[in-house]
Amino acid sequence: MSSLAQFVDDRLVRGRAHFSREEVQAALGLKPAALTDAITRLVKKRRLANPRHGFYLILRPEDQIAGAPDPVRWIEPLMRHQGLDYRISLLRAAAFHGSSHQAAMVFQVVTPKQLRDFEIGRHRLQFVYQTPKAFAQINQPDQLDQIKSDTGFAKVAGVELTLLDCARYFHNAAGINGVAQIAKDIGAKAGPRALAKVAAAYENSSVRRLGYLLELAGHTRQANALEPFAKKAKTAVLLDPSVKPLIASLAELHEKDPRWKLVINEPVEIDF
């Protein structure tokens, strides 16, 4: 029976920088208490990190300063361990697609189940919930890209899905101005037909906000593809629902955009 340290070294030699408690239990045959003690010792020595119960990362020397590798290297096996589908989205996906303005300080993952956010070393992971029905409809191979790392691939939202996720979860994407900048930076890469297809799974108000921001950024073809959604809307909504007037009657003073049926209650700033 080999030691846990030997098990860890063997995994790294085979290019596997992670393992589950079940895997190591089956390999070493240790009693649960002895295995817990062995894992705890290696965690204290900064050879292992534990992002989720029963799932462990093996830290190479270069990972020990940050406390864990870049999550793109282990999000796929972690979510497989959790038994959940996922996609990397929002700020990290926007940066992947070329939004250089976005410094992704948080690693954001969209899932069909509510999960707790956590920090591991210098990394902060945020899990954004999408209803299972909508998630299943759009989290399809033709709407996803892949981020390659030295350990394999991780699923990332395609450019159309990234734009819609940012518009829907704008409070997780640096607010309306952050989404406006993302729309400016990567909007031209979105296929109008693909954008309209994916938009059908999103709330109409989110689609209208994205259409308005794409038009503002000068991406006319992409904005036009979303106009049919605005025509279906019966009432106007706030561009930025997080900004509420102190006096309700003041809302009537804001400019209204008739095309997108939006109340422009917040000025939008974009770097061109």
Task: Identify residue 272 by its one-letter amino acid code.
Answer: F
pLDDT in tens, 178-198: 999 999 999 999 999 999 999
* Domains in the chain: boundaries: 4-63, 73-264
pLDDT in tens, 208-249: 999 999 999 999 999 999 999 999 999 999 999 888 764 455
Global confidence as pTM: 0.91
Counting DSSP H helices and E strands in the chain, the numbers are 11, 12
pLDDT in tens, 96-136: 999 976 667 899 999 999 999 999 999 999 999 999 999 99
Average pLDDT over the chain, rounded to an integer: 92
Maximum pairwise Cα distance, the chain: 75
Q: How many residues does the chain have?
A: 272
Q: Mean pLDDT, to the nearest integer, of 164-179? A: 95
Give the whole-angstrom CA distance, residue 194 versus residue 165: 14
Q: Give the β-pairing of 262-264 and 237-238.
A: parallel
E-strand ranges in the chain read 18-20, 48-52, 55-58, 87-88, 107-111, 118-120, 123-129, 144-149, 152-157, 237-238, 255-257, 262-264
Q: Mean pLDDT, to the nearest integer, of 52-70? A: 92
**65 confidence band (pLDDT: 50, 70, 90):** confident
For residues 265 and 240, is the Cβ–Cβ distance under 8 A?
yes
The per-residue pLDDT for 149 is 80
CATH class of 4-63: mainly alpha
Handedness of CA 267, 213, 215, 225 (dihedral sign): negative
